[in-house]
Amino acid sequence: MNETMIGYRPIGVIYSQHCVAEETPIQPAYAAGCPGRVEVFPEFAEGLRDLEGFSHIYLLYHFHCVEEAQLLVKPYLQDAERGVFATRAPCRPNAIGLSVVELVRREGRVLHLEGVDILDGTPLLDIKPYTAKFDFLKTTRNGWQDDVDEPTAHERGLRNFRPGDKR
Residue 16 counted as domain residue: yes
> What's the CA gap between 71 and 81, in Å, rounded?
10
Residue 19 backbone phi and psi in degrees, to 5: -110, -10
Residue 95 counted as domain residue: yes
Percent of the chain past pLDDT 90, that is, above it, reads: 56
Residue in 122, 104, 106 with CA at minimum distance from that of residue 59: 122
Sign of CA dihedral 139, 73, 59, 147: positive
Give pTM, 2 decimals.
Answer: 0.81
Contacts of 39 (CB under 8 A, 6+ apart): 12, 13, 15, 109, 110
Residue 136 counted as domain residue: no
Residues of the domain holding 93: 12-131+141-157
Residue 50 counted as domain residue: yes
> What's the CA gap between 6 and 144, in Å, rounded?
32
Look at residue 117 in the predicted model and tell me its pLDDT.
92
Residue 67 counted as domain residue: yes
How many domains are contained in the chain?
1
For residue 148, how many other CB atoms are within 10 A of its CB?
16
Residue 163 counted as domain residue: no
> What's 127's domain CATH number?
2.40.30.70
Contact 60, 126 (CB under 8 A): yes
Residue 127 backbone phi and psi in degrees, to 5: -130, 135
> pLDDT tens, 26-61?
777 777 889 999 999 999 999 999 999 999 999 999
Residue 121 counted as domain residue: yes
Residue 40 counted as domain residue: yes
> pLDDT tens, 14-29?
999 999 888 878 777 7
